[in-house]
Amino acid sequence: MNRLFGSLLALLIALPLMHAPAHASTVSVTYNYVYFGTIGKHQRQPRTVVNGGFTTIASQSGGQQSTGLTFQPGQLPATEMVGNQTYDFSFVTITGGSATAGGPPVGVSSTNPGAPPSVVVGTSNIVVLAVYVPVGGPPCPGCTGSGATIDAFDETTGSLFNDTFVKVAPDANNTLTTSGNVYGYVDTTNSAETISSLTPTSPTGVNFSRWVKLLPSAATTNGSALGVGKGVNTIALAFYDAPPPGSSQPTPKQVCQQELASLNKITVDRGPLLTVSQYAGVKATLQKCVQQGYLTQSAVTAAENGYQNMLNTHNNPPPPMHP
């Protein structure tokens, strides 16, 4: 009897515990308000602390969010004041969440302060990074002409990073490409310039997504080439994202190498011949690879000349080899 009573008592005690709701885990939310306020050269490689990227305006807690729920910030301030300087909103990036429930952490961005993006809360803390730029453009210490102030932004982590990330054309002696990567500045005083992003970068290994102009107004350019006119000042960030976990897709560099190898193989095998439009597409792809720094111009020129020479002699094949 005592044993039966004890069993019933244990069951009665356990029932409320069995039906008690499970407590969802929570993560913290932090809002970081920063500005990108440098026009002109700023040290990227190695990155200096002073004038090397974002400068904090304010940082504050956004409380806690439950795992599995969707988080979206409210409307963000369109302007911020630092002393007597007014800063306009440029973009917001949310990191730490995922695009879908149980998915990998991603970074999501918006250039509209009234419509920030949303993420699914996972097990990582959420950071809301709101980026501002000075109204009318910041001063340019030591500048005597015009140029594009550029930098690389890792959208997955919400931070600027130091990898070599651009190739500039036209560029005598590689000076503008070096300046873009080391000092984050491409001079446009004497000519218009095309600034092409490299992907993936090394050693970080992130993939190019898009260019986002911060000045003269926030705008997005989806292509890898950012054109800046002669005499034009601008600020633009190249946005990058971490590749999906387990991704087995070839890198852009590998794609370029495969394209070059395929053209050389056609030349050696003397076929199959490409149509005019197919060959034009191959040439355009190879030239883009040169601009991005994945292939050398000499290797591409040799491959194209070899193919053309093969075409010129295709109707007069060499005599067969005798045993």
β pairing state of 126-134 and 26-36: parallel
Domain boundaries, the chain: 26-241, 252-312
Residue 114 banded pLDDT, cuts 50, 70, 90? very high
Q: Any idea which of 43-52, 57-66, 76-85, 236-245 has the lowest mean pLDDT?
A: 43-52
> Is residue 215 packed enough to be buried (19+ CB in 10 Å), middle (13-18) or exposed (0-12)?
buried
User: What digits encode the pLDDT tens for the residues 267-294?
Assistant: 887 777 888 888 888 899 898 888 777 7
Which has the closest alpha carbon to 260: 304, 196, 214, 205?
304
| 299, pLDDT greater than 80 | yes
| 20, pLDDT greater than 50 | no
Q: Are 214 and 226 in contact (CB under 8 A)?
A: no
Which pLDDT score is estimated for 249?
59
Q: What percent of the chain has pLDDT over 90?
A: 50
3-state helix, strand, coil split of the chain in percent (to 5) is: 25, 35, 40
Whether residue 272 has a cis bond before it, omega within 30° of 0? yes
Of 251 and 256, more confident: 256
Which pLDDT score is estimated for 52?
64
Residue 141 banded pLDDT, cuts 50, 70, 90? low
- Describe the crossing of helices 297-312 and 252-269 by its angle, rounded to 10 degrees: 30
Rounded Cα gap, residues 230 and 95, in angstroms:
36
User: What digits encode the pLDDT tens for the residues 203-223?
Assistant: 888 999 999 998 777 778 878
Rounded Cα gap, residues 149 and 145, in angstroms:
12
Q: Are 85 and 55 in contact (CB under 8 A)?
A: no
| 1, pLDDT greater than 50 | no
Rounded Cα gap, residues 289 and 299, in angstroms:
11
